Every structure is written in structure tokens, then in C-alpha cells.
């Protein structure tokens, strides 16, 4: 009877020790990175034993929330300017900023036959609505306005634009048929080397500023082992492979 009892106590002790070592990290994640993070989170938790709690939204909105004391510990932004600004303002753990992905902007339609892989339909303008994310808070929305400007379509299509609060809402406008077309993140409709639905035109990088997406450990996560572990995981080979599978480029 003693041996099983000792074994049970040892098992309980190991479980307690494992639980004591595990920490939770609260992460603010740019909306375009929703699908990759949903895939990365369980892999990160399995590899490290830590727990990840993610919130998804527009980078500009996260900035305002962070400045107002939101309890986020890591920010995965949709740009590099917001993390740089937080760094200048002393809101991050020193030396923690790095680029975790470079995004692609795509013109997308839920109709598989609407786009032919070119910008012809966009230039033709035979549609009622074009969805974009709010360019004031969402970097992919800003990139969309840059593309329209470079193509000389800003004035022509101004009356057709419908803005989502973030890139997820912009995609929803198109997916539900409220807009025939929309500029969204490639990662939202791309997986394992192919388009997952609809039809698309990938906007050339020459038509918009590079969408470099930076991550930082925020002040509140400076002493959280789970925050440090997440950053290290994102820099690793396993994460890189998963990020690339959603159409992102790596720095």
C-alpha cells in the first residue's frame, strides 16, 4: 500500500510544480493576424506550458487602450510605427521590439469569378461598394488608400468606400455581400500556399509602403516569463513556418 501512495504523492507534487511554473500572457493581436495566432496559440502552449489569452482588433485602438492602462503584456501590431511610438514613450520592455511578419495586401471578392488576378475590375469600377479598414487605426486600411492613390483611383472610388473598424470587419462586409470587393490582409484568405475562397488580386508591394508588423513586450509584461517565452517562440523555426503558411513574408 505504501508504494502506490508514494507514487500518487510524487505525481501530485510534479503536477503542482508544473502548474506553479506555468504563467499566463495577455496579448493584443492585430486583426489581420487572427488566423495565424489561433493556430500558433495551442502550439505555443504545448511547447512552453504557458497559457495565452489573445484579444483581436485594430492596432490604433490597441494603442489607445494601452495608453489608458489596458492590462496587455504583449502587442503584436499590424505596423512598425505604433510599437516604435510606444518604445519612444517608455511603454515597452527595453530591447523587446522586433518584426515578426511582413504582410501582403489583397483585393478580394467572395465571388470566385469576380477577379481575374489583375486590377482590371477595380479600375473598371463596376461595383457599388469597396470595403477597406479604417485607415486612421488600421495599417492595412492605410495601405489600401495608398494603392488607390498610386493607381489614380482615390477620387473616382471615394463614394464607393465602406470602412470597417478593423480588417476583420472589412472582410466581413465582402463575405456577407455588403460589398462586392474589399482590400484585406492576404492572411485572411490564404492558407498553405493557396487562396482559401473567392477570387483575388495581390497588390504589388510597389503600390504601398511595406506592412512591417512589429511585436513588443509591454511594461506590464516586462517581468512575466510567459511574455518572454512568447517572443522567443515567435522568433523560432516552428512559428516561422506557420506564419509563412498564411502568406506572410519574414524579415
Give residue 209's pLDDT band: very low, low, confident or very high (50, 70, 90): very high
pTM of the entire structure?
A: 0.84
Residue 22, pLDDT score: 78
Q: 168 and 97, same structural domain?
A: no
CA distance 55 to 33: 11
3-state secondary structure of 20: helix
Q: Are residues 184 and 215 in the same domain?
A: no
**CA angle 170-175-181, nearest 5°?**
65
Both 185 and 222 in a single domain? no
Residues 115 and 172 in one domain: yes
pLDDT confidence bin for 21, thresholds 50/70/90: low
The predicted pLDDT at position 17 comes to 38
> Average of pLDDT values for 199-228?
97
| 47 plus 119 within the same structural domain | no
Mean per-residue pLDDT over the chain, rounded: 92
In tens, the pLDDT along 70-111 reads: 999 999 999 999 999 999 999 999 999 999 999 999 999 999
Range of the domain at 171: 103-207
Same domain, yes or no, for 217 and 96? Answer: yes
CATH code where residue 162 lies: 3.40.190.10
Instruction: Find the mean pLDDT for residues 184-194.
Output: 92
Report the alpha-carbon distance of residue 118 to residue 115 in Å, rounded.
7
pLDDT of 237 > 70? The answer is yes
| Positive or negative torsion for Cα 170, 173, 179, 184 | positive
Candidate ranges 18-27, 185-194, 239-248; pick with highest mean pLDDT: 239-248
Give the whole-angstrom CA distance, residue 118 versus residue 121. 8
Same domain, 90 and 107: no
Separation in Å, CA 141 to CA 112, 189, 250: 23, 16, 21
Amino acid at each position: 500500500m505504501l508504494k502506490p501512495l508514494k507514487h500518487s504523492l510524487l505525481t501530485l507534487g510534479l503536477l503542482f510544480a508544473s502548474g506553479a511554473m506555468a504563467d499566463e500572457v495577455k496579448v493584443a493581436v492585430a486583426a489581420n493576424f487572427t488566423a495565424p495566432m489561433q493556430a500558433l496559440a495551442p502550439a505555443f502552449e504545448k511547447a512552453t506550458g504557458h497559457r495565452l489569452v489573445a484579444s483581436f482588433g485594430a492596432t490604433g485602438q490597441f494603442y489607445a487602450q494601452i495608453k489608458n492602462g489596458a492590462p496587455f503584456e504583449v502587442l503584436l501590431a499590424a505596423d512598425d510605427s505604433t510599437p516604435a511610438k510606444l518604445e519612444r514613450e517608455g511603454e515597452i520592455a527595453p530591447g523587446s521590439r522586433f518584426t515578426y511578419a511582413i504582410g501582403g495586401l489583397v483585393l478580394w471578392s467572395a465571388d470566385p469569378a469576380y477577379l481575374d488576378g489583375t486590377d482590371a475590375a477595380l479600375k473598371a469600377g463596376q461595383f457599388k461598394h469597396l470595403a477597406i479598414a479604417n485607415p486612421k487605426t488600421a495599417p492595412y486600411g492605410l495601405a489600401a488608400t495608398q494603392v488607390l492613390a498610386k493607381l489614380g483611383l482615390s477620387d473616382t472610388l471615394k463614394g464607393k468606400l465602406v470602412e470597417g473598424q478593423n480588417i476583420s470587419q472589412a472582410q466581413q462586409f465582402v463575405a456577407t455581400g455588403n460589398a462586392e470587393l474589399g482590400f484585406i490582409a492576404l492572411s485572411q484568405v490564404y492558407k498553405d500556399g493557396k487562396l482559401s475562397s473567392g477570387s483575388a488580386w495581390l497588390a504589388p508591394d510597389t503600390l504601398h509602403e511595406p506592412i512591417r508588423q512589429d511585436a513588443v513586450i509591454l511594461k506590464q509584461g516586462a517581468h512575466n516569463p510567459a511574455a518572454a517565452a512568447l517572443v522567443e517562440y515567435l522568433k523560432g523555426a516552428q512559428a516561422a513556418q506557420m506564419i509563412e503558411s498564411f502568406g506572410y513574408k519574414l524579415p
